[in-house]
Amino acid sequence: MYHTTSEEWAELVFGQSDLGDSRRTDRLVKLTSDMASHVGSSIVKASDNPASIEGAYRFINNPCINPEKISLSGYKFTDSIVKEKRLVLAIQDTTGLSYRHSICGELGSVSSAMKTSKNPVGRSIFVHSP
């Protein structure tokens, strides 16, 4: 399943989001499509006109928007793709959260990013995202 445009991708992933109002879902699709077309850009640079910019910021600041429901759309789409495949690789990355301030003494026994160092002034905790 390969899609050539960011609009197609955004519609597939987020087009069925249940945000309580179809206009919110439409805005989510527009916003994610714009951002996917301009990876690394700000909303202002990714949007094609002032109305899109205003709509994006209204969407982001709307207290009725439930981030978990947006995530659920992505999870459901991923689930539908995975079910179609014979083999799925679940590749993960490790991230180190580095602390270099007064809290380090309160972290207790955590590993250091450098195996040879247990420096109380700088500590890292390794994280594997779900």
pLDDT tens digit string along 5-30? 999 999 999 999 999 999 999 999 99
pTM here is: 0.68
- Please state, in angstroms and rounded to a whole number, the distance separating the CA atoms of residues 54 and 117: 49
Residue ranges of the chain that CATH labels 1.10.246.40 = 6-84
3-state secondary structure of 99: strand
Which CATH number among 1.10.10.10, 1.10.246.40, 3.30.70.260, 1.10.150.120 corresponds to the domain 6-84? 1.10.246.40
Query: If pLDDT is split at 50, 70 and 90, which confidence band does 114 have?
Result: low
Residue 50 falls in which region: left (phi positive, over 0), alpha (psi -120 to 50) or beta: alpha
Helix axes 22-37, 6-14, angle to 10 degrees: 140
Q: Specify the DSSP element, H or E, that contains 94.
A: strand 94-99
